[in-house]
């Protein structure tokens, strides 16, 4: 938008007088809105972005350039891009009709040239970007994309922005191993269950974590140990020696949240998962 001022001068004989000052405003006919299909992310995700351009004017606009900084931020004097444009993902629609792909002159930042918006019409750009290791993770992590539409037919750049947040909460996985892998009949074996939490929040007793396993062959349990502490039944687990069904009591297992750190030199974010370990030993 641009504001202008104007006044007139009236001359007569050897004198002159000025009129009052009038104020006007020129508003752009174009609006730009950027939207992420999903508003959260974690490392490795693909995020779909939509940029909607609307021309409310009576004249078609051509030769426009759309720039997106892909969430760029400064770290140790360097510019880091937490999003990576996915090659060949760009789709270009004019009044809902798919067009030939426009020119991408840069991918960091993303610069798209040769964009047109018809009179009283709309243009939509859809593309994907991958969340990379420069993306802030953990509590309060976010990526804010800023960008603009520019061109000779525009008075000023038309800005747009969109922010997505790093996923919060609990994110658990479990692995099981046994030792030894080969045993003789009536030999002793140990099953180890490792739970990892890559989420920003701890899994607490109220999350009611339960490990269930149907041991086959049936195990004659001699010890159950959780994070180095011996467990007893039925306070911490139950076991059916006839069927081999083993189950921990809900709420006995907790897992701390992950630790997130950014390398002070490279700017790469790292995740150290929180963990809990349960071992079940017995004879077969």
At 5 the pLDDT is: 73
Q: How far apart are CA 203 and CA 209, in angstroms?
A: 8
- b/e code 212-223 from CB counts within 10 Å (16+ = b): ebebeebbebee
At 181 the pLDDT is: 87
Residue by residue, pLDDT tens for the chain (284 residues) are 456 678 888 888 888 888 888 775 545 679 999 999 999 999 899 999 999 999 999 999 999 999 999 999 999 999 999 999 999 999 999 999 999 999 999 999 999 999 999 999 999 999 999 999 999 998 989 999 999 999 998 988 999 999 999 999 999 999 999 999 887 787 899 999 999 999 999 999 999 999 999 999 999 999 999 999 999 999 999 999 999 999 999 999 999 999 999 999 999 999 999 999 999 999 98
List domains and CATH numbers for the chain.
29-166 (2.60.40.740), 172-283 (no CATH)
Q: How far apart are CA 150 and CA 144, in angstroms?
A: 20
């Amino acid at each position: 938008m641009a504001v202008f001022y104007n006044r007139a001068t009236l001359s007569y004989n050897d004198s002159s007088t000025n009129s009052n000052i009038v104020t006007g405003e020129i508003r752009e006919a174009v609006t730009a809105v950027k939207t992420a299909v999903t508003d959260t992310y974690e490392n490795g995700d693909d995020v779909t972005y939509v940029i909607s351009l609307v021309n409310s004017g009576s004249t078609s606009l051509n030769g426009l350039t759309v720039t997106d900084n892909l969430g760029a931020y400064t770290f140790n004097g360097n510019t880091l891009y937490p999003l990576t444009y996915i090659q060949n993902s760009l789709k270009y629609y004019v009044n809902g009709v798919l067009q030939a792909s426009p020119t991408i002159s840069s991918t960091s930042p993303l610069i798209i040239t040769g964009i047109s918006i018809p009179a009283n019409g709309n243009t939509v750009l859809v593309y994907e970007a991958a969340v990379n290791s420069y993306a802030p993770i953990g509590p309060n992590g976010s990526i804010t994309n800023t960008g603009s539409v520019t061109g000779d037919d525009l008075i000023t750049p038309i800005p747009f922005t969109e922010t997505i947040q790093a996923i919060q909460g609990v994110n658990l996985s479990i692995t099981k191993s046994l030792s030894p892998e080969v045993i003789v009949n009536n030999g002793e074996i140990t099953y180890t269950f490792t739970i990892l939490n890559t989420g920003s929040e701890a899994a607490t007793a109220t999350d009611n974590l339960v490990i269930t396993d149907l041991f086959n062959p049936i195990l004659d349990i001699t010890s159950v140990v959780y994070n180095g502490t011996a467990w007893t039944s039925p306070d911490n687990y139950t076991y059916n020696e006839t069927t081999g069904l083993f189950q921990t009591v809900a709420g006995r297992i907790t897992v701390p949240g992950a630790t997130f750190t950014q390398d002070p030199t490279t700017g790469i974010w790292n995740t150290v998962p929180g963990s809990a370990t349960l071992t079940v030993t017995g004879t077969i």
